[in-house]
């Protein structure tokens, strides 16, 4: 999604001269076009993320809309206090952009993985958290972030293209509706591509499954989505994030508050490093049961009558 992000940012910067872009010494071979277009509005803050967000808050206080870019763990964890205190409490238009969410940086290990970012940021005052599942969602999300002009975090990964006939409802996007759906799969971010891959190789199983992505936090569930869940009440959640504070926990609260009680509820989540080893993103997804074969297995288990 980094290429789509760079291209969309370039267009936004041309249209709006209040946009400032600050990078934490990252973005080579990806953001050069943006640097050329923004000129002095493109700032390399160096490896100093806390300072970067403090500077961004200052710019925002003076009327600018500021994007702060780095790889996801650096933009989230290193400057959490500054984002909370300087940006969110003052409801300023500073937007964190983290590339490579979840296990995206693979073999580089835990210091470069981002498994707790939704938990850290989605509960902050005034903040919105965006997790596109598909590359073509990046541009409209950026437009909405800029329009909202409030604290935001955008988690980028590697996604394909939104399936035909997908539609948004509240914080969610319905990307597949089974003709005889009994199970509803909620996916966070690009792991939705694994869910779709699972259905593509599972034949008739696709008719028994709905697939819905969570695009934005805090979660907002509309009446039409609640009806989908009521009609296919076996729920499977797939997210490249720890269980605490992630999609599964926040979704379950929403459902209970609205009086919707699933027949079954299974959470597939980032399991950290159960064997103490690091590997590719697909390797960690496999260990966490987030690969297509594991997803098929879990869906089949939910479909077995009690």
- What is the chain's pLDDT, residue by residue, as a tens digit (306 residues)? 778 888 898 899 889 999 999 998 876 666 888 888 888 999 998 888 999 999 999 999 999 999 999 999 999 999 999 999 999 999 999 999 999 999 999 999 999 999 999 999 999 999 999 999 999 999 999 999 999 999 999 999 988 899 999 999 999 999 999 999 999 999 999 999 999 999 998 888 899 999 999 999 999 999 999 999 999 999 999 999 999 999 999 999 999 999 999 999 999 999 999 999 999 999 999 999 999 999 999 999 988 765
Note the pLDDT of residue 28.
Answer: 67
For the record, the structure tokens of 44 come out as: 């390399």
CATH code of the domain containing 176: 3.40.50.920
Residue with tokens 């508050």: 257
Residues 97 and 146 in one domain: yes
Please tell me whether residues 147 and 230 are part of one structural domain.
Answer: no
Rounded distance between C-alpha atoms, residue 227 and residue 237, angstroms: 17
Q: Please, are residues 214 and 155 in contact by the beta-carbon 8 Å criterion? A: no
pLDDT score of 306: 53
User: What does the alpha-carbon distance between residue 78 and residue 232 come to, in Å, rounded to a whole number?
Assistant: 41
Q: Could you tell me if 152 and 295 lie in one domain?
A: no
Could you tell me the pTM of the whole model?
0.94
Q: How far is CA 103 from CA 116, 213, 274, 283, in A?
A: 11, 18, 14, 9
162 within domain boundaries: no
Where b means 16+ CB within 10 Å and e means fewer, 205-215 reads bbebbbbbbbb
Domain boundary among 130, 156, 182: 156
My answer on whether 17 and 92 are in the same domain is: yes
Residues 65 and 104 in one domain: yes
Domain boundary among the residues 121, 156, 191 is at 156
Note whether 147 and 200 are same-domain residues. no
Q: What range does the domain containing 254 cover?
A: 167-303
CA torsion through residues 133, 138, 143, 147, sign: positive
Return the CATH number at 134.
3.40.50.970
């Amino acid at each position: 999604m980094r290429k789509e992000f760079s291209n969309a940012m370039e267009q936004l910067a041309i249209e709006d001269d209040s946009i400032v872009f600050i990078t934490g010494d990252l973005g080579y071979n990806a953001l050069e076009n943006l640097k050329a277009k923004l000129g002095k509005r493109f700032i390399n803050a160096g490896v100093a993320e806390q300072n970067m967000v403090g500077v961004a808050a200052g710019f925002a206080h003076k009327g600018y809309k500021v994007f702060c870019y780095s790889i996801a763990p650096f933009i989230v964890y290193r400057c959490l206090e500054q984002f909370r205190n300087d940006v969110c409490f003052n409801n300023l238009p500073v937007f964190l952009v983290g590339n490579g969410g979840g296990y995206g940086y693979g073999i580089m290990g835990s210091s470069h993985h981002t498994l707790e970012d939704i938990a850290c940021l989605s509960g902050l005052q005034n903040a919105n958290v965006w997790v596109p599942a598909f590359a073509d969602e990046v541009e409209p999300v950026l437009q909405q972030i800029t329009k909202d002009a409030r604290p935001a975090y955008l988690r980028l990964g590697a996604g394909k293209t939104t399936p035909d006939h997908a539609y948004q409802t509240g914080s969610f996007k319905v990307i597949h509706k089974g003709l005889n759906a009994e199970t509803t799969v909620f996916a966070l971010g690009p792991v939705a591509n694994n869910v779709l891959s699972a259905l593509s190789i599972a034949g008739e199983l696709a008719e028994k499954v709905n697939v819905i992505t969570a695009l934005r936090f805090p979660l907002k569930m509309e009446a039409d989505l609640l009806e989908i869940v009521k009609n296919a009440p076996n729920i499977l959640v797939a997210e490249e994030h720890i269980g605490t504070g992630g999609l599964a926990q926040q979704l379950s609260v929403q459902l209970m508050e609205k009086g919707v009680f699933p027949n079954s509820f299974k959470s597939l989540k980032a399991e950290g490093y159960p064997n103490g080893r690091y590997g590719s993103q697909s390797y960690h997804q496999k260990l966490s049961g987030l690969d297509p074969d594991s997803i098929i297995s879990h869906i089949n288990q939910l479909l077995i009558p009690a």
